[in-house]
Amino acid sequence: MSNETSSVPDSQSLAAESGAGPFADNAVSKETRRRVIAASFIGNFVEWFDYAVYGYLAVTIAAVFFPDSDPQAGLLLTFALFAISFLVRPLGGFVWGHIGDRVGRRTALSLSILIMSGATFCIALIPGYDAIGLWAPVLLLVIRVVQGFSASGEYAGASAFLVEYAPANRRGLYAAVVPASTAAGLLLGSLLAGLLTTLLSPEAMHSWGWRLPFLLAAPMGLIGRYIRTKLEDTPVFRELEAGDHAAAAPVSSLFKNHWRQLLQAVGAVLLNAVGFYVILSYMPTYLSSELGLGATESFLATTVALVTYIGFIFLTGMLSDRYGRKKVLLAASISFILLTVPAFALLGTGNFLVVVLVQILLGAMLTLNDGTLPSFLAEMFPTRVRYSGFAVSFNLSNALFGGTAPFMATLLIAATANDLAPAWYLVAASLVSLVAVALSRETCREPLRHE
């Protein structure tokens, strides 16, 4: 197993793991640096903007696409469609991982954002149940499956792109751009959904208001694709490609030679998969539908959590660069194991100030995991299978446990009549991640590996 070697600072094939990586002033222009960050940011931003709008307007979407005889059944079916679209993500991880490791990171990211934003845009064009009956939820499912497939390469690809460009001692900080972009997409989605809910009547929201946010995906996706096509691929991939060392079958190589790391990665992602969707996507529905908090207060409380998340995410990336990925990830798992149930119990008080403070706490705890995970996963796999390893592990865990989290939370509450059921579900996920991270090795001070 060979390690990459540092090149002279002005070398055309400067490796990202050298002390003077391509973000150094003598290796890349400030304009290129900005475009790399923007290219990595915008795809996940569009993806999670869509998920935010879908999650925050779930009650309205349920009323539009399903019969109104049983509102809870309609809400469950809406979240079920959300979950089903995630089942295709592992397949997408295989496809986009192969393209990213075989053809290039830039190619995969440029294609995925185009398909993803187009699918999101098409959601706004589907007629409701009153107009076309069962074809409405069927079309919604098909489009969400396409969207899920195309989005499955975004998080992994953007993380690999940033890690392979970043200086060795700042990979955690640069990779934190990716979760920051997801939270920013959720924040804009929540703000826009809250604004529409406040300004429009229920009839207007049901008729056409819910469609407006999805229409924004098209221009944002085209901007993202334009930025990505103007960039070169990462230095380490170009170096690999120039030596004709790119893997011919990266997914096959991943399962054959790196299955231990793959299993550890799937377990490590579990806290992110469940925690992100429960705390930042499902929470407004939980606060309003299960705890009886007003819709406006629910949106506001979740917005506070998102702002906290964005504010702390880069600090977490820096902490992982200084103290190591494992220590920060272990601290995240332990904090969720100890504090999640008490935090959800406090949410049940219904006091708005308490709810906001708890949301701040949960958002800060989540950043310990999410701000560290992108660099942790990217460093776990060698360059030849990095995109595939990240995409397959991340999407497999999210398909099984992330996309299903809102559905499972709603189902567990209905089955147990216990409002704390989602908290215990999150504790269980944290325990699995704790074990997976404990069994992994520290990578933050090691050079990125080719083989």
C-alpha 330/C-alpha 346 separation (Å) is 24
Residue with tokens 């999210």: 398
Higher pLDDT, 69 or 413: 413
C-alpha 324/C-alpha 321 separation (Å) is 6
- For 30-439, CATH gives 1.20.1250.20
Give percent of the chain with pLDDT exceeding 90: 39
Helices 325-347, 259-277: crossing angle, 10 deg rounding: 30
Read off the pLDDT of each residue in 60-81 and give the average, rounded to a whole number.
Answer: 78
Q: Residue 203: CB partners within 8 Å, gap ≥ 6?
A: none
C-alpha 111/C-alpha 10 separation (Å) is 31
SS3 readout for 243-287: CCCCCCCHHHHHHHHCHHHHHHHHHHHHHHHHHHHHHHHHHHHHH
Sign of the Cα torsion 88, 93, 94, 98 reads positive
What pLDDT score does 303 carry? 79
C-alpha 272/C-alpha 369 separation (Å) is 7
DSSP 8-class letter at 231 = S
Distance of CA 367 to the CA centre of its chain: 12
| Cβ-based neighbour number of residue 315 at 10 Å | 15
> Where residue 181 falls among pLDDT bands split at 50, 70, 90?
very high
C-alpha 282/C-alpha 390 separation (Å) is 25
Q: How far is CA 76 from CA 275, 406, 442, in A?
A: 19, 9, 41
Domain residue spans of the chain: 30-439
pLDDT (tens digit, 9 = 90+) per residue, 289-303? 788 888 778 877 877
Half-sphere exposure of 439 (CA within 13 A, CB side): 15
> Where residue 315 falls among pLDDT bands split at 50, 70, 90?
very high
